[in-house]
Amino acid sequence: MRWLWLAVCLIWPCTTIAQGAATLVADRVTVNDQGQLVATGSIEVLYLGDRMSAQQIVYDQTTDRLEITGPIVIRTADGTVLTADQGTLDPRLENGILQGARIVLDQQLQLVANQIDQREGRYSQLYKSAATSCQVCGNRPPLWEIRAERVIHDQQEQLLYFTNATFRVRGVPIFWVPRMRLPDPSLDRATGFLEPEQRNTTQLGTGVKVPYFITLGDHADITVTPYVSPETRTLELIYRQAFVRGRVRAEAAVSDDTLRDDNRSYIFAEGTFDLPNDVQLSFDIEAVSDRAYLQNYGYSSKDRLDSAVGLLRVTGATLAQTRLTYYQTLRDDEVNDSLPPLIADARYQRRSQPAFGGILTFDGSADVAYRFSDTDGAEGRDVVRAGLGARWQDSWILPAGLVGTFQTNLRGDLYKVADDTDFPDTDVRVLPGATATLRWPLARVGATGIQQLIEPTISMAWSESFGGKPPNEDSTRSELDTGNLFDLSRFAGDDITETGSQIAAGLNWTRIGRIGTTSTLSFGRVWRSEEEAEFTQSSGLEELQSDWLVGGQLIIPGGFLLDARGLVDDRSGLNRADARITWRNSKIALDASYIWQSSDIGEDRPETISEWTFDADFDLSTAWSLELDARYDIAADRPVRSGVGVEWRNECVRINVSASRRFTSSDTVEPTTDYQLSGAIIGFSTGRAGGAAAGTCRN
C-alpha cells in the first residue's frame, strides 16, 4: 500500500521534510545503513501546488537534499512540465540540478538541455540548450529551433534569456546573436518586436513594417511601427490604456512620401468612461490631412469622418443623452462646409405607468445644425430646433385572439433658422397624431410537429402639422422597410413628419420545421390620404399608395441563412432590392450580398446601383486556410475591389500571404494593388495564438 509522510514520521525523526516543506507519497519507504530515507515505487512529492513523480528518491538528512532517479516528471502550479533522467533537489523543489532535462512551457515551447540548475524556486538555468515549439521526430531537426550555450528562464518575470544563440531552420544556421531576450508563452504582455510585415503596393513600392510593442505598466501600452519603402517614410502608432472606469485607444500615423509634397497624417481615437450617477462619457476623434491618405495606406475605406463626444445615462424609467459631432468629408463631390459639418443634439425621455393604465412617455429634445459658410441658402443655413412631446400607449387582448394597440401623441417644436431667407427666422410647429393597430396571430402545430404562425396586421393612423414648415436637415434619406411599416411617420428624423390619414396592412408568416429549419415571409403596403413631397422616388413612399414591401428569410441548421427584401411598384416594377446569403460551419464561412437601387435624382443618385459583394474563409486543412473577398459594380460593369489571402500554419510557424486590388473612379484616389507577407514563430508570447495541431511523426 502507499504511505503518506505522516506515517513515515512515526519511525523516523521528522526533520526539514516533515516541517511543512513537502509531502511524500510512495509505495515503499525504508531507511538504509547510512541513515538515508529511501522511497521507491510510484513516488509523488507535493509542495504548494507543484507535483513531482519519480522512480526513486533518497533523502539525506545531513545535507537536506533529495537524490532522485528518473524518469522524473515535475508539474508546477502554472502548468509548466519538466522532465529529467536524474537530479538533486532540495525538499522544496526550489534548488538543485537536473540531468538530461526538458521543460515544456504552457504546452507549447519546449527547452532541452544537458543540465538544468534550479535556483530560488524562480530561475532555471539551462546549459547547452535547444528551444523549439515544433514537433520533434526522432533525430530529424525540427522546422526551427534556437540553440544556445545557456538559457535562463525567469519564472517570476516569465522571460527567457539566451546567451550565444543561433536560430536554425531544419538544422541549418540562419543567424547568430550574442544575447537575446524573449517572453515565454504564458506571458500576456511584454516589450519587444511583433510580427514583421512585408508590403508591396503600386503606389508606395516594396516596403517593410516592423512593429515594436512597449508596455507602459499593467494597464497601458504603445505599439510603434516604422514603415519604410522607396516611396515613403512612415511612423505608425497605436496607444491603449485601461482605467478603473474606462478605456482609451488611439491609432495614428505620419508620412513623408513622394505622392504629395507636404507631410501627411491621420489620427483615430476613441474611448469610454463611466462617470458618477450612471453617466457614460464616450468620445471619438477622426482626422486626416488629405482626402486620399487613408486609402493610399489602407488605413480605412471611410469617405466621411465623424468626431464626436457624448454623454449617456439610462435608468429603469429615464433616458438622457447629448452628443456633439463634427463631420469631415473625403468625397470629391462634397464641400465640407455644406454638410453641415457640426451637429449637436440632446434628448431626455421619461416613461411612467399612470393609474388609468398604459405607458405614458414624456420627452424633450434639441438639436443644432451649423455650417461655417455664410452663404444664403442651403449651403450656409444654420438651424436650431427645440421640442417637447408626450405619448400614451396601451394594448388589449380582444375576442377571438385579436390584439389591439392604441397610441396617441402630441409634440411641439420651436425652430430658429439663420442664413436662409427661404425660411422665417423663428417658427413654431405643433404635431398631434394617433395610431390604432389590430393584429390577429394564428398559430398551428401539425401532426408532424411543424409549427406555423400567420399574423395579419392592419394599422390606421392620423397626424397633422400646425404652424410653419421647417427646413429638412435630418430626413433626406427615408424608405419603407419592415421596421417602420406600421409607424405613424416613416421619416428618419424630426424635421419632417407624415400628415393626414393613412392605413397600413401587412401579413407575416413563419414556419418552424422539425429539424429547426425556420422560414418567414412578410409583405405589406401603405395607403395615405396626402402625398409627401419629401419622399424620394425610390423610397417606396412617394405616391398615395406605397410600393409593396416584400421580405423573407430562410434559416437552415448547419449555419445557412438567406435574407432578402424588396420594394415593388405596381407600374414601374422593382425600386429597391437587397439580399444576403451566409453559410458558416467549422470549416467554411461564406458571406454574399447583393443590392439594387434605381436611379433617383432626389437622393443624388443619377444612375442605377447594382452591386454584389463576396467574402469567404476556408479551412482547407489543419495547416492551410484561404480567404477571398470581392465587390463588383454590375451597373458600371467594373470591379470595385478584390482580394485573396493564404495562410499556412502548424504548431510552431504561421505564414500569411495576401494580395488585394482596389479600383476607384475618384479623382483623388488612384487604383492600387497591395501585396503583403507576414509570419511568426509560434511558442513565444507574441505568436502563441493560432497554432495548428501538431503533426504526427512518420518513419
Kindly give the pairing relationship between strand 451-463 and strand 518-528.
unpaired
Same domain, 290 and 211: yes
pLDDT at 7: 34
The residue that leads in pLDDT, 60 or 384, is 384
Does some domain include residue 2?
yes
315 by DSSP, 3-state: which?
coil
pLDDT at 646: 96
pLDDT at 2 over 50: no
pLDDT at 4: 35
Is this prediction's pTM over 0.85? no
The answer to whether 87 and 68 are in contact (CB under 8 A) is: yes
Which stretch of 9-13, 203-207, 574-578 has the lowest confidence by average pLDDT?
9-13
Residues of the chain by 3-state class (helix, strand, coil), percent to 5? 5, 60, 35
The residue-averaged pLDDT of 343-348 equals: 96
Does some domain include residue 197?
yes
Here the CATH number for the domain that contains residue 128 is 2.60.450.10
pLDDT at 253 over 80: yes
Could you report the per-residue pLDDT of 534-588, keeping only the tens digit for each? 898 889 998 999 999 999 999 999 899 999 999 999 888 888 999 999 999 989 9
DSSP string across 484-539? TTT-S---SSSS----EEEEEEEEEEEEE-TTS-EEEEEEEEEEESS--TTS-GGG
The answer to whether 612 and 592 are in contact (CB under 8 A) is: yes
pLDDT at 411 over 90: yes
Nearest-angstrom CA–CA distance, 422 and 687: 63
pLDDT at 3: 34
Which stretch of 72-81, 379-388, 400-409 has the lowest confidence by average pLDDT?
72-81
When pLDDT is cut at 50, 70 and 90, the band that residue 699 belongs to is low
When pLDDT is cut at 50, 70 and 90, the band that residue 695 belongs to is low
What's the domain count of the chain? Answer: 3
Same domain, 87 and 122: no
The residue that leads in pLDDT, 74 or 22, is 74
Same domain, 148 and 66: no
pLDDT at 696: 65
Could you report the per-residue pLDDT of 639-694, keeping only the tens digit for each? 988 999 999 998 888 999 999 988 876 655 677 888 999 888 887 765 444 455 55
Same domain, 211 and 194: yes
Same domain, 37 and 64: yes
Does some domain include residue 288?
yes
Could you report the per-residue pLDDT of 186-196, keeping only the tens digit for each? 888 888 888 88
pLDDT at 375: 87
Does some domain include residue 525?
no
The residue-averaged pLDDT of 610-630 equals: 94
The residue-averaged pLDDT of 346-363 equals: 95
Task: State which residues form the domain around 183.
Answer: 110-187
687 by DSSP, 3-state: which?
helix
Query: Which of 301, 317, 348 lies at the terminal end of a domain, its last residue?
Result: 301
Same domain, 277 and 212: yes
Same domain, 233 and 273: yes
When pLDDT is cut at 50, 70 and 90, the band that residue 12 belongs to is very low
Does some domain include residue 11?
yes
pLDDT at 148: 94
Does some domain include residue 192?
yes
Same domain, 227 and 269: yes
Does some domain include residue 273?
yes
Same domain, 169 and 196: no
